[in-house]
Homo-oligomer: A and B are copies of this chain.
Amino acid sequence: MTETTRTGERPETSPPFEFDADTAVEAVGEGRLTAELSGRWGVGPALNGGYGLAVATRAIGRSLGHPDPLTVTGHFTAALEEGSADISVDVAKAGRNLSTAHAELRQGGRERLRTLATFAELPEDPAPELTDGAPPDLPPPEECVGNEPGVPNPFGIAIGERFLYRVPAEEAGRMAGRPKGEASVRCWVRFADGRQPDLLGLICVIDALPPAAAEIGVDGWAPTVELTVHLRARPVPGWLAVALRTRFVQSGYLEEDGEVWDSAGRLVAQSRQLARLPA
């Protein structure tokens, strides 16, 4: 994707950007790759699931003939940790329009993440035929409150330093310990180092906000069992508007639905994850 800025809001830093460096994969054999998972994407001792899913997706892409992840599902079988990972990829289909493969990501001999993905080539101009929805209702980023690049995350959450977040002042309650009583979050997000969004980045972005369920008092880490991301269009440069919502908490599990809209007002990704309630 382009690394030139279009909106000119923020000076670009030089590549390699953090996300590209930290999702790099190296082929070491037929369908076998290695990656070095970085603690920069940590949420406490465990790493962010969307980051891990992006690494696995990048590994899968190396084995497929299509450039764009279209639908990606990860099942998280153990916490991801900083350090090296071995990834094996097995191709199910290499078709004309679509190609499909799964990946197994292991650390220390233990499988942490199994990912199933289908790739395609998305059109340059997606020309929406139906848009029954709208970007989240957010004031412009410059009228919102948020963090600054290079400033340590006040909660010690490393991934919180990888992104800039901009939320309406009245939505910033949770940071001050005032849950709003509705399981939804809306927020502007962009990479803190100036990297522009692309499809791979969206897989991480959509999982990089505080959980919507925190807004109704679900405290503690609700580990992701499964995360599915649909990539619906290539994002243009600029801020991304992210909306998360949890509607059902039952049987010990909750779902979280996500949408990401780009700065042109186009839906670029949808997600749903199933997470296990803290015991």
Chain A residues at the B interface, C-beta cutoff of 8 Å: 70-71, 73, 75, 77-78, 92-93, 95, 97-98, 100, 102, 104, 111, 114, 116-118, 122-123, 126-133, 182-183, 213, 216, 225-226, 228, 230, 232-233, 245-255, 266-267, 270, 272, 274, 276-277
Contacts and interface: CB of A to CB of B under 8 A. Distances in A.
A71 B225 contact: yes
A225 B126 contact: no
A123 B276 CA distance: 13
Contacts of A246: 130, 132
Number of copies of this protein chain within its complex:
2
Contact of A228 (B73, B77, B111, B233): B73
A248 B92 contact: no
A213 B254 CA distance: 27
Contacts of A250: 126-131, 232-233, 266-267
7 contacts: A77-B95, A102-B116, A118-B226, A123-B251, A128-B249, A130-B250, A233-B250
A247 B133 contact: yes
A111 B228 CA distance: 22
A92 B70 contact: no
User: Which 8 pairs, one residue from A and one from B, show the smallest C-beta to C-beta distance?
Assistant: A130-B249, A77-B93, A126-B251, A128-B250, A132-B247, A129-B249, A73-B73, A71-B226
A130 B73 contact: no
A114 B126 contact: no
A100 B77 contact: yes
Contacts of A253: 70, 230, 232
